[in-house]
Amino acid sequence: MRTTSDPSSSPYAKGPVTGAAFGAIIMLTPIAFGAHGFLVLFSLAGLLIVVGGVIATAFMSFPGNEVLRALRAIPAMLRQPPATRHDLSRDMNDILHWVRLSKTGGLSGLRASLDPGAVQMPLLNYGLNMVLSEYRPDDVRAMMETAADASYDHGCVPIDVLRAMTSHAPAFGMVGTLVGMIAMLCELNDNIASTGTTLAVAFLSTLYGVVSARMVYMPAAARLQQELDFRQRRHVLIIEGMVMLARGETASHAQDRLNGFLAPGQHDYFDALGGSGEAAFLGVDSARPVRESQSRRRLAEVLESAGS
């Protein structure tokens, strides 16, 4: 089995980095062609009010470890996800391999083929332990679904943190603007000439609040939601595979069932009506030799079961 790679060591992804750069260019271009420099968009007091207020409110509303997970997701959204993240077919192939081992050598043969610590995914390791402990298929499904639901609920917490930060950021931007305007009014009688500059700095807090909400917290929450949804689909595939492994299903049955979790271009069905080894799903490249060998193997399993 594959080990889980560290997201912080992954290279930066082209799409998110390009989007962030394009957004920054759109915002800074009017300033670049104006008479003022880029420092006109910088206000330390506004940044402290918006960023500090949002983070403080998050720690007041959620557990500290979940807030830290949410903050770590902000730079992680610019990085390339692991190469195996979107390839459910590899999980399916691992399950099919175990199904064939269990059909030929039984659970003892399956147990002998697994190296200690080889399965890194917690839910997959949990399911294999239940199968090897000879739990009933219904019990395997019920317990694994409970574990998958608990994992999904746990993964939703940092998403909730980021969405809360999205709603709080514009509010703290208004707080910074009000604080700046109050300070400006207090000094209005002393130096009227600086009113315009002071007012512009005060409104930077609102700018920071809106921009951070829409270009930082909201995209990070959306990225986490996509990864969580993919992990949930992977969990469902693994649950179905472990249930069929506990039932003692054939590899052809398991493959046809798990094909439904893959992208249409990765489906590999045997065309029983056409009598050929080509895939019967539209959009599938049926010219690969591996598909023909798999189809012939499944046909042999069907004929063997019919003969017995």
- Residue 281's pLDDT is 43
**By the 8 A CB rule, do 168 and 212 touch?**
no
- Residue 81's pLDDT is 64
Read off the pLDDT band of 115 (50, 70, 90).
confident
Top pLDDT among 232 and 264 is at 232
- Which residues is 79 bridged to in the sheet? 12
- Residue 86's pLDDT is 52
Asked whether the predicted pLDDT for residue 288 surpasses 70, the reply is no
Task: Please state the pTM of the whole predicted model.
Answer: 0.73
Of all residues in the chain, the percent with pLDDT exceeding 70 is 67
- Residue 259's pLDDT is 85
Summarize pLDDT for 129-180 with one digit per residue, the tens: 999 888 999 999 999 999 999 999 999 999 999 999 999 999 999 998 888 8
Asked whether the predicted pLDDT for residue 45 surpasses 90, the reply is no
Query: In whole angstroms, how far apart are CA 142 and each of 26, 111, 146, 245, 288?
Result: 51, 23, 6, 15, 38
Asked whether the predicted pLDDT for residue 117 surpasses 50, the reply is yes
Top pLDDT among 33 and 121 is at 121
Structure tokens at 277: 């080894």
Read off the pLDDT band of 307 (50, 70, 90).
low
- Residue 89's pLDDT is 82
Structure tokens at 240: 């179905």
> How many Cα atoms are found within 13 Å in the side-chain-facing hemisphere of 271?
13
Of all residues in the chain, the percent with pLDDT exceeding 90 is 30
Asked whether the predicted pLDDT for residue 24 surpasses 90, the reply is no
Summarize pLDDT for 54-89 with one digit per residue, the tens: 999 999 999 999 999 999 998 888 776 655 555 788
Per-residue b or e along 85-104, where b marks 16 or more CB atoms closer than 10 Å to that residue's CB: eeebbebbebbbebbbbbbe
- Residue 200's pLDDT is 72
**By the 8 A CB rule, do 161 and 58 touch?**
yes
Summarize pLDDT for 182-192 with one digit per residue, the tens: 877 777 766 66
**By the 8 A CB rule, do 97 and 29 touch?**
no
Instruction: Give the mean model confidence (pLDDT) for residues 209-218.
Output: 91
- Residue 19's pLDDT is 67
Top pLDDT among 122 and 296 is at 122
Q: Which of 7-16, 170-179, 252-261 has the highest mean pLDDT?
A: 170-179
Cα–Cα distance, 121 to 117 (Å, whole number) = 10
CA 147 vs. chain centroid, Å, equals 18
For the beta carbon of residue 186, count every other beta carbon within 10 angstroms.
Answer: 9
- Residue 201's pLDDT is 73
Helices 88-113, 218-247: inter-axial angle, 10-degree rounding: 40
Cα–Cα distance, 94 to 89 (Å, whole number) = 9
Q: Which of 26-30, 87-91, 131-135, 283-287 has the highest mean pLDDT?
A: 131-135
CA 210 vs. chain centroid, Å, equals 25
Instruction: Give the mean model confidence (pLDDT) for residues 102-122.
Output: 81
Read off the pLDDT band of 3 (50, 70, 90).
very low
- Residue 283's pLDDT is 40
- Residue 296's pLDDT is 53
